[in-house]
């Protein structure tokens, strides 16, 4: 190993001249050395072990570093006083919760949880009629990646898209209401992981299926993994319709798009085609898949496609070799993140089982697809950044920031100098390595994934919190850390525990998001409510009536603090009862709800909004319904009775 490699990969606790005056009293390196180095060495084999010295046959942590490893006392600038607003909206995926979390930055105050692929007792999501139909009976999900819609390379404040890895679904949230309006099931897909919208306009949202399947997945050839394939799926970001799929042989991980609308990217691991861990790490390299969107769409238009299984979605079969549709750029084994820097010139690929990032020049891709270059010719730099690089974000000043999982740090590096060093210049691209706590996964910086990256704040989403917070039992909270990147060096400003497991986040300038305060009464939900009202000759904003058709009973109700427009409902045991409630109040914050005792019915209705839930009337008897949202001094008196007759 060269002296330069030793310097780059050295230990931030023992190397450099860091100021220890404000360093937390804990031995992070003890944890990393005894725990993760052993795990990393076992998983990664010689590629990771080679970055450290060996003593008595065992891998040891590297010991020297020439770059800065700053710990700084937090200045006052990140504090947001009571009554003042944050500068950024942060959108966090909720992981196994199936939700999206909205966080103010830099205060790190949680503002809202948006239920998506989950059941929410507070709002009724998953139980109300609209969301229940969207979810299709699947009430658990795993949200990993959140991305906003774009226009001209920056966020347009219209939509947030989020994946469900567990259920092969893509959801869209309206940003005027901060509520889901569409969920799309992705055919022929399993483990839908990386997603990314096009950046030149609200066009396609590209989705990667990480788990390969037999094609078709109809119960035949299930044990022959050499026949498995994965899908790169295009969803129309406006209609949420699946437009086409490209079938490839590798496991597709993270996704990205360029700024011109020409390409989408997918990191691919397990190019070996294995089904088990040891089979997936045999090869020395895997690939960055580059999809040529115009060529794919021409093939779809010309009918050069197939269908798979019961789905009618056109599929371009691009398995096994480079083609006009897909090119495979070789990168070190098991790549994870792929991120495009704000100028749109380079895509950065991080390799989990390599200490390097690969810098791909996007301008070279046209010649690659034209057959004028070999795939490897598109790589213009490969800096060594640390043990276990995962994701990269940007400050708009030419610097990249990469999360280092095993070393538990953020590496700041200079893209231009990395390219110079790759071409033989004697320059050092690594600027700083900052310890974070612990085992950082995704990171993102303010406006990083747009042309307007501003280099103010970086969020590190650390998987482990260990001793950072009060012990709450075996399942610890995770640790989101706020880092100031506005100066020459990164500064750790704030720790914040989070409920497991936020996976990824984006930070969006305040002025780009313009939510409403009163329901606009538009979109698919109101198309549904208006259809029902038209069928029954009812005015949703005014009428309190009951419509019965056999055993089906529709109860149209209004509410205005502190009372419901209907105080009594009379039904028979076994009736299918649908309560459709409209909140007549026009005061922001004055939300009502409807909770029917003994019937698992509880839902929210915001000002000027309508919501509905359907249930089966239970055993004969008297049941009270009430408003569960505190709305008035006489809130407790806001109630009514349902009489259930035999």
What pLDDT score does 502 carry? 87
Higher pLDDT, 37 or 232: 232
Angle at 132 between CA 131 and CA 138, to 5 degrees: 110
Average pLDDT in the 105-109 region? Answer: 96
What pLDDT score does 45 carry? 38
- Extract the tokens encoding 358: 């690969």
Average pLDDT in the 306-327 region? Answer: 96
The predicted-structure confidence for 568-598, as pLDDT tens digits, reads as follows 999 999 999 999 999 999 999 999 999 999 9
pLDDT for 461 beyond 60 = yes
Length, in residues, of the chain: 646
Measure Cα distances from 386 to 268, 355, 405, 481 in Å: 21, 5, 9, 19
What pLDDT score does 224 carry? 85
Q: CB–CB of 88/509 below 8 Å?
A: yes
Cα 532 from Cα 554, distance rounded (Å): 9
The predicted-structure confidence for 391-403, as pLDDT tens digits, reads as follows 999 999 999 999 9
Average pLDDT in the 298-307 region? Answer: 98
- Map out the domains of the chain with their CATH numbers: 525-645 (2.60.40.420)
Which residues 6+ apart lie within 8 Å of 79 measured at CB? 107
The predicted-structure confidence for 360-390, as pLDDT tens digits, reads as follows 999 999 999 999 999 999 999 999 999 999 9
pTM: 0.88
What pLDDT score does 196 carry? 98
Res. 11 pLDDT band, cuts 50 70 90: very low
Largest CA distance in the chain: 88
Q: Specify the long-range contacts of residues 210-214, CB closer than 8 Å, at least 24 apart.
A: 210/165, 210/251, 210/252, 210/253, 211/251, 212/249, 212/250, 212/251, 212/270, 212/273, 213/188, 213/189
Share of the chain above pLDDT 90, in %: 80
pLDDT for 14 beyond 50 = no
Q: CB–CB of 234/243 below 8 Å?
A: yes
pLDDT for 275 beyond 80 = no
Strands ordered across the beta sheet of 99-105: 109-115, 99-105, 88-93, 505-509
């Amino acid at each position: 190993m060269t002296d330069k490699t030793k310097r780059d990969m050295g230990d931030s606790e023992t190397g450099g001249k860091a100021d220890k005056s404000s360093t937390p009293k804990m031995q992070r390196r003890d944890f990393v050395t005894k725990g993760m180095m052993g795990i990393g060495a076992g998983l990664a084999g010689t590629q990771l072990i080679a970055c450290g010295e060996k003593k008595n046959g065992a891998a040891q942590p590297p010991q020297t570093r020439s770059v800065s490893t700053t710990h700084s006392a937090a200045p006052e600038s990140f504090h947001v006083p009571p009554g003042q607003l944050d500068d950024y909206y942060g959108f966090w995926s909720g992981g196994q919760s199936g939700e999206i979390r909205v966080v103010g930055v830099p205060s790190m105050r949680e503002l809202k949880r948006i239920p998506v692929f989950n059941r929410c007792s507070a709002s009724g999501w998953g139980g109300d009629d609209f969301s229940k139909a969207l979810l299709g009976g699947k009430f658990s999900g795993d949200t990993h990646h959140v991305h906003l819609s774009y226009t001209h390379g920056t966020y347009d404040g219209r939509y947030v898209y989020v994946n469900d890895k567990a259920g092969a679904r893509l959801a869209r949230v309206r940003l005027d209401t901060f509520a889901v309006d569409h969920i799309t099931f992705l055919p022929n897909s399993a483990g839908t992981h990386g997603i990314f919208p096009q950046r030149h306009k609200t066009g396609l949202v590209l989705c990667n299926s990480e788990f390969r399947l037999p094609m078709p997945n109809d119960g035949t050839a299930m044990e022959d993994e050499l026949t498995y394939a994965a899908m790169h799926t295009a969803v129309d970001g406006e209609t949420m319709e699946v437009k086409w799929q490209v079938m490839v042989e590798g496991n597709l991980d993270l996704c990205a798009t360029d700024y011109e609308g020409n390409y989408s990217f997918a990191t691919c691991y397990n190019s070996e085609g294995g089904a088990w861990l040891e089979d997936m790490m045999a090869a020395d390299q895997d690939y960055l898949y580059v999809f040529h969107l115009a060529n794919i769409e021409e093939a779809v238009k010309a009918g050069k496609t197939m269908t798979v299984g019961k789905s009618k979605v056109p599929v371009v079969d691009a398995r096994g070799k480079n083609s006009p549709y897909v090119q495979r750029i070789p990168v070190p084994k098991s790549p994870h993140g792929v991120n495009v820097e704000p100028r749109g010139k380079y895509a950065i690929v991080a390799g989990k089982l390599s200490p390097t990032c690969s810098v791909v020049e996007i301008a070279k891709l046209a010649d690659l697809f034209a057959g004028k270059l070999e795939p490897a010719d598109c790589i213009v730099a490969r800096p060594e950044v640390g043990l276990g690089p995962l994701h990269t974000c940007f400050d708009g000043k030419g610097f990249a920031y990469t999360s280092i999982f095993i070393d538990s740090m953020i590496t700041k590096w200079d893209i231009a100098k990395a390219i110079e060093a790759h071409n033989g210049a004697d320059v050092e691209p690594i600027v700083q390595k900052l310890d974070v706590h612990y085992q950082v996964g995704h990171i993102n910086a303010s406006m990083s994934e747009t042309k307007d990256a501003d280099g103010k704040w970086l969020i590190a989403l650390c998987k482990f919190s260990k001793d950072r917070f009060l012990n709450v039992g075996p399942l610890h909270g995770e640790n989101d850390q706020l880092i100031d990147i506005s100066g020459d060096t990164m500064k750790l400003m704030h720790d914040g525990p989070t409920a497991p497991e936020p996976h990824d986040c984006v930070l969006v300038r305040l002025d780009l998001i313009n939510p409403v305060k009163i329901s606009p009464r538009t979109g698919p939900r109101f198309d549904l409510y208006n259809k029902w009202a038209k069928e029954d000759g009812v005015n949703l904003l005014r009428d309190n009536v009951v419509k019965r058709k056999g055993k089906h009973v529709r109860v149209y109700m209004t509410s205005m603090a502190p009372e419901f427009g209907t105080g009594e409902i009379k039904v028979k045991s076994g009736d299918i009862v649908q309560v459709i409630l409209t909140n007549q109040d026009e005061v922001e914050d004055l939300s009502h709800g409807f909770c029917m005792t003994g019937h698992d019915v509880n839902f929210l209705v915001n000002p000027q909004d309508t919501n509905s839930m359907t249930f089966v009337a239970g055993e004969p008897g008297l049941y009270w319904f009430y408003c569960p949202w505190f709305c008035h001094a006489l809130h407790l008196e806001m109630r009514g009775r349902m009489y259930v007759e035999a």
